[in-house]
Amino acid sequence: MSDTISVKPFGRLRNGEETLLYTLSGENGAWASVTDYGASLVGFSGPSDGIPGTDIALSCESATALERDTSYIGAMIGRVAGRIGGAGYEMDGKRFNLTANTPPHHLHGGATGLGKRKWTVLQPPLPYPSICFTIISEDGDEGYPGEVRSSITYTLLPPTRLVVEIRSISSAPTPYNPTLHAYFNLDGHAAGSILHHELQIFSECCTLTDADLIPTGEIVPVDGLSCDFRHLVQIGVKMSAIPTGFDQNFLIDGADGSLRKAAIVQSAASGRRLTVWTDRPCIHLYTGHFLAVTDGKDGAAYDACAGFALETQGFPDAVNHSNFPVDILRPGDVFFSRTIFELDQDIQA
Ligand code: GAL
């Protein structure tokens, strides 16, 4: 096998547009596939001795199905990941009202956020092992000010590292806090529950939310809370106290803008381990309580806890909390973030 990028049709959208699926394949048999619809991650696999490896990323068979999906499966989220309370904020004495797509709040960039649109593949294309998608979010998009130009670059490095880099500029000050909403199941995307996966998050503190999952502004130690993942522990064990699973943001220890190890997930059943590295200050754990996908890949159905998401991001709802560092992208500045998903196989758990 040699290093390649292959491309194939990935289905038609409601507006008639055709989409494409790009697969980056390494010489060792590792691969990652991404689509121009939502710049979404569709598949991810380590090497597997000449036979196709196990795909650990949850997704759908086509962009047609992804367009129907309401779980943000594999999608690039923007302009702002998570919830903005009351679907609005004040900046420089002015109120900005955003789309209240989870009334009365704003979620994951609005009704048609960046993960619900077709992106353009960069031309001329980047050489292997990278692929880059770009998109323009117009001034006033979902209520956000300024025209924002974003790109997301996926790079597959050996042995199995998927590097996700986001770059953006804006014509006016705008909140900007994107993430990649990838769900994984280390035993295979259709393997069922992730409750036996063990998780460690390198975080001493988390942010609290209210009953609507809106951050209250409080930052508290995880010590003594059910979301204490400072040591490797089975997700299911921790979840026995919380029936709806985890939907929780963590502050990454020592975050200073450099690349840091944020989390490790491993499964003794398959001997796989995923390590998440990021230069962002926070990571959001979502154990997929709302997952309800009937048209997953290979005929799979995904329901609660079929996958986990570890979304690297800035502080949630930062525009509404003066004690949170706020992600405002200003004209002249370039937003840049890098997250790496590193997959190891045959680990001795
Ligand atoms: C997560 C979010 C959840 C839910 C999910 C998508 O990032 O924290 O509350 O909205 O996305 O279904």
Whether 204 is catalytic is no
Contact indicator for 310, 263 with CB cutoff of 8 Å:
yes
Q: Residue 283: which of 240, 341, 226 has the closest Cα? A: 341
Q: Check residue 269 and give its pLDDT.
A: 94
Instruction: Please give the backbone phi and psi of residue 124, each rounded to the nearest 5 degrees, phi first.
Output: -65, 150
Contact indicator for 44, 184 with CB cutoff of 8 Å:
yes
Q: Is 72 in the pocket of ligand 1 (CB under 6 A)?
A: yes
Q: Is 292 in the pocket of ligand 1 (CB under 6 A)?
A: no
Q: 10 Å Cβ neighbour count for 187?
A: 20
Q: 10 Å Cβ neighbour count for 295?
A: 16
> Rounded to a whole number, what is the distance in angstroms from the first to the last CA of the chain?
29
Average pLDDT over residues 29-43: 97
Q: Check residue 246 and give its pLDDT.
A: 98
Residues forming a β-bridge with 342: 161, 275
What does the block give as tokens for 54?
Answer: 């196990």
**Helix boundaries (H) for the chain:** 63-68, 235-239
How remote is the CA of residue 49 from the centroid of ligand 1, in Å? Answer: 36
Active-site hit among 106, 181, 189, 321: 181
Asked whether the bond before 159 is cis by omega within 30 degrees of 0, the reply is yes
Contact indicator for 274, 307 with CB cutoff of 8 Å:
no
Residues 182, 303: Cα–Cα separation, whole Å: 15
Q: Residue 73: which of 124, 116, 126 has the closest Cα? A: 116
Q: What is the mean pLDDT of the chain?
A: 96
Tens-place pLDDT, residues 82-141: 999 999 999 999 999 999 999 999 999 999 999 999 999 999 888 889 999 999 999 999
Tens-place pLDDT, residues 186-216: 999 999 999 999 999 999 999 999 999 999 9
Backbone region of residue 239 per phi and psi (left: phi > 0; alpha: psi in -120 to 50; beta: other values)? alpha
Q: Check residue 241 and give its pLDDT.
A: 84
Average pLDDT over residues 243-271: 97
Tell me how many degrees the CA angle 109-113-115 measures, rounded to the nearest 5. Answer: 115
What does the block give as tokens for 45?
Answer: 């696999």
Backbone region of residue 81 per phi and psi (left: phi > 0; alpha: psi in -120 to 50; beta: other values)? beta
How remote is the CA of residue 292 from the centroid of ligand 1, in Å? Answer: 12
Q: Check residue 308 and give its pLDDT.
A: 98
Q: Residue 103: which of 242, 239, 212 has the closest Cα? A: 212
Q: Has residue 1 got a pLDDT over 80?
A: no
Q: Check residue 51 and give its pLDDT.
A: 64
Whether 181 is catalytic is yes
Q: Residue 227: which of 252, 244, 198, 247 has the closest Cα? A: 247
Q: 10 Å Cβ neighbour count for 103?
A: 8
| Tokens 């390590």 found at | 275
Helix (H, G, I), strand (E, B) or coil at 143: helix
What ligand 1 atom has the least distance to the C-alpha of 70? 12
Q: Is 187 in the pocket of ligand 1 (CB under 6 A)?
A: no
Average pLDDT over residues 227-250: 95
Q: Is the dihedral of CA 317, 322, 326, 330 positive or negative?
A: positive
Mutate which of 286, 291, 310, 312 for ligand 1 pocket (most atoms within 8 A of beta carbon): 286
What ligand 1 atom has the least distance to the C-alpha of 247? 8
What ligand 1 atom has the least distance to the C-alpha of 181? 7
